């Protein structure tokens, strides 16, 4: 199966389409210039993942140092919150997590799940693509980030 990813620098929040179908939160992206609707939002990530503070062996923190990726995920979070507040009684757990370091620096990150990979080091450099899906658990939409074409070094 082929995938298209959205270039972070060219991401346009106005092209985001949000809907809830059968208790599933769906994100689509409309490419105006091609008149095409992408059924999933796939973004590129490149940076460092760490097992820091995460108990699940397949779960890693990815620090959002890329200003475009951070901005775009923040825009997506904000749009979903607006949609949820207008259209449903569900709660929404943001994609972006925050960790306060030394009472002054706020570290923003996302949790990434890597399946069937046995990793021994505390941190790795990663180059991958991510797709954001949501699970409805106890009336809360919880983001799950799936990875594709993962390169670790």
At 79, is the pLDDT very low, low, confident or very high (cuts 50, 70, 90)? very high
Output the pLDDT for position 92: 97
Going along the chain from its start, the domains and CATH numbers come out as 8-152 (2.40.50)
Tens digit of pLDDT for each residue in 40-68?
A: 899 999 999 987 766 667 788 999 999 99
C-alpha 113/C-alpha 147 separation (Å) is: 7
Q: How is residue 103 annotated by DSSP? A: T
């Amino acid at each position: 199966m082929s995938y298209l990813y959205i270039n972070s620098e060219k991401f346009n929040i106005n092209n985001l389409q949000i809907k809830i179908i059968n208790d599933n939160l769906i994100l689509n992206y409309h490419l105006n210039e091609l008149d095409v609707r992408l059924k999933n939002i796939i973004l590129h990530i490149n940076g460092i993942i760490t097992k820091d503070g995460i108990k699940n062996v397949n779960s890693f923190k990815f620090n959002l140092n890329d200003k475009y990726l951070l901005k775009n995920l923040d825009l997506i979070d904000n749009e979903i919150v607006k949609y949820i507040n207008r259209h449903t009684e569900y709660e929404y757990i943001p994609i972006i997590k925050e960790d306060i370091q030394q009472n002054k620096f706020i570290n923003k990150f996302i949790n990434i799940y890597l399946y069937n990979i046995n990793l021994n080091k505390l941190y790795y450099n990663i180059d991958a693509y991510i797709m954001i899906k949501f699970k409805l658990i106890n009336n809360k939409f919880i983001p799950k980030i799936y990875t594709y074409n993962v390169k670790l070094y």
